[in-house]
Amino acid sequence: MPVMNIGPVPQSHDGFYARNNPYQVNGPKGFTEFKLMEENEDLYARFDFPGVTKESVRILVEPLKKAVFVFGDAPKEFRHDSSHRKYGAVTGLVCDCCEISNIQCFVGDGVVRLILSKKKINLHFPSSFGGATMPNVPFLACVINGYNPEVSDVVHGMCADSMVAVAGGHPLDPAFTGPVTLPHPSVLEGSTSAYESKHLPNGGLFLRIDMPGVPNDRFMMTVESDGGITVIGRAPPALHDSSGREYRGKVAVVPLAYDNRRIKVIAKHGVIRLIIPPF
The CATH code of the domain that includes 55 is 2.60.40.790
pLDDT for the residue 159 = 37
Length of the chain: 279
Number of structural domains (the chain) is 2
pLDDT for the residue 194 = 95
Could you tell me if residue 182 is inside a domain? no
Could you tell me if residue 18 is inside a domain? no
If asked whether residues 205 and 116 sit together in one domain, one would say: no
pLDDT for the residue 146 = 31
* Residue at a domain's end among 130, 147, 176: 176
Instruction: Determine the Cα–Cα distance for residues 142 and 28; give it in Å rounded to an integer.
Output: 22
Strand partners, 231: 221, 249
pTM over 0.85: no
Could you tell me if residue 184 is inside a domain? no
Could you tell me if residue 269 is inside a domain? yes
What's the burial of 126, exposed, middle or buried (CB within 10 Å: 0-12/13-18/19+)? Answer: exposed
If asked whether residues 167 and 269 sit together in one domain, one would say: no
pLDDT for the residue 180 = 92
If asked whether residues 70 and 169 sit together in one domain, one would say: yes
pLDDT for the residue 124 = 56
If asked whether residues 163 and 210 sit together in one domain, one would say: no
Q: Which residues have a Cβ under 8 Å from the Cβ of 161 and sit 6 or more positions away?
A: none
Q: pLDDT below 50 — which residues of the chain?
A: 125-169
Q: Range of 225's domain?
A: 4-13+192-276
Asked whether 87 and 111 are in contact (CB, 8 A), the reply is: no
